[in-house]
A and B are shown apart, each in its own frame.
Chain A
Amino acid sequence: MEILRVENLSKIYGKGETAVKALDNVSFTVQKGEFIAVVGPSGSGKSTLLHILGGVDRPTSGKVYIEDTDIYSLDETRLAIFRRRQIGLIYQFYNLIPVLNVKENITLPLLLDGRQPDKSQLDELVSTLGLSDRLDYLPNQLSGGQQQRVSIGRAIISNPALMLADEPTGNLDSKNSSEIIGLLRLLNQKRKQTLIVITHDERIALQADRIMTIEDGRITRDEVIRS
């Protein structure tokens, strides 16, 4: 089942002579349950692509369909609600809300929807994340790995159609990195969670079903390594 379709996506920063083409006519599709690693040198447009897929940055031209919804045809409010329900974003620097505790950070997308999380579901999730005894902690009381796990929890809580991660292990030591990789892989396998991860970490890349290489805003390689 097709979960994501990208058509002729371009993103140009700046104007006139100083314009930089961050994405140049990119098209591809992603099936449900795929685990895609996006690799490429810095400045190649990986992050831009991810942000556009995540609905936080607007493309200059082209379309993004997530579960058949043209996300950039939505107005700002609907796009926000769409993000809340259909997209999970994970950043290198966790970007947790410092004033909310672990539980609130994880359930933030639900809270924004005015929902209460299902208790048993939440319990399962936090035990998978290994955060059961940290629910009341504030982000600054957690280690980097724990914070990243919280942000994974936040990304998965609403069962999003698409989970996007930008260098999720970029800021972590090797032990924490492998935990995070393991978690992502687990979510992908067990929940058939569609996952697109930008990474420089070859361990993640090797876990993926498909590796996409971006150079100068174009997809230069796209190979399925397992199916």
Chain B
Amino acid sequence: MLRNREIRIILALVAFISTAGAAACFYISVAAGIIASIAFLMVILAFLLFTRWRYRQIHLLSGYLRRIAGGDYSLDVRDNQEGELSILKNEIYKVTVTLSEQASLLKKDKQFLADSLSDISHQLKTPITSMSVMAELLQNENLPQDKRAEFVRNIHSQLERLKWLVSSLLKLSRIDAGTIEFKKERIRVRELVSRAVEPILIPMELKEQTLEITGDEDAELTGDSNWTAEALANIVKNCMEHTPAGGRITIAFSENSLYTDITISDNGEGIHKQDLPHIFKRFYKGKNAHQDSIGIGLAMSRSIIENQNGTIEVSSEKGKGTTFTVKFYKGVV
């Protein structure tokens, strides 16, 4: 205990004050001096005992922390009493819980990474295999011209797909790694939605689908307009793909004191109930996923939205349509 500088200082100070006080009392009368000396000594003793107890508690806590550092999360130091020490214990416990949780998350992440890698390699392997087959066939000089042209086109399209896949994965990994700096600008939701639907207006027209956009013209949100537009675009695209010709897609948005929400709904085939919890997962392909789908668009949308303090939710009924609800919260939790 005496190792602590502050204890030495305060002890010296207390001793000095007590001696001075006792001396002054002696000056008044011997009896008073004796009583004062005894009283001062008792006070110092009590103080020392108390300090010792407190340092012991600190000592115990540091021992406890050491064990946590060693990876033992099962300890519980909480004693549920009033007082600062008990609060400290409680806070330490909460940190422990968080740490242990993070440790298990880390484990999950590792697993996830391994899964992802196998997913990615799987995704890459298929086009590469088909391309290498076609490349081999192309080497055959007897190949008729029209076949050759078809293979080249095929390889081209596979390469496009690969390019898109790789760039998407790159984006996704950058988002997940947090290396992307999302801008924080006030965006008018109306403009954002217009930007997001622009690339799919033509495909929609081809499928004779109607698009309806309603909402508060003044609604705004804080975020990065490019990324957010991309996230929305992925969702709208998904809706378009799962909605038959002549269908309808509705985008509605509003702002309240807590968040800005954008709902995108279609009257398409809907999502299977088993798929519903998983559609935002990377490389997840639902029961009626498109042939070309690699299950990365919605995952990226979710990453973008959640990284901008937003949530995305989906509800769907088989045969009636699907609704995506995107909420951008104002505060940070």
Contact = CB atoms under 8 A, between A and B. Distances in A.
B179 interface: no
B333 A130 contact: no
Interface string B299-333: 00000001000010101000000000001011111
A129 B90 contact: no
B333 A124 contact: yes
Q: How large is the interface on B (under 10, 10 to 19, 20 to 34, 35 or more residues)?
A: 20 to 34
Interface stretch (A12-20, A77-85, A89-97, A211-219): A77-85
Secondary structure at chain A's binding surface: helix, strand, loop or mixed? helix
Interface in A186-200: 186-187, 189-192
B97 A67 contact: yes
B333 A81 contact: no
Given A68-B76, A207-B313, A226 B86 contact: no
B80 A82 contact: yes
A78 B101 contact: no
B277 interface: yes
Interface string A56-92: 0000000000011100001001110110010000000
A179 to B, nearest CB: 5
A175 B258 contact: no
Given A1-B104, A226-B276, A186 B76 contact: no
Contact of B277 (A127, A186, A226): A226
A78 B80 CA distance: 5
A226 B315 CA distance: 12
Contacts of A79: 80
B181 interface: no
Q: How large is the interface on A (under 10, 10 to 19, 20 to 34, 35 or more residues)?
A: 35 or more
Contacts of A124: 331-333
B101 A192 contact: yes
A186 B311 contact: yes
B327 A182 contact: yes
B256 interface: yes
B153 interface: no
Given A81-B81, A82-B80, A182-B329, 16 more contacts: A1-B101, A1-B104, A81-B80, A113-B87, A114-B83, A128-B329, A128-B333, A130-B256, A159-B94, A161-B97, A182-B327, A185-B313, A186-B329, A187-B333, A206-B315, A226-B277
6 contacts: A85-B78, A127-B331, A179-B256, A182-B311, A183-B258, A207-B313
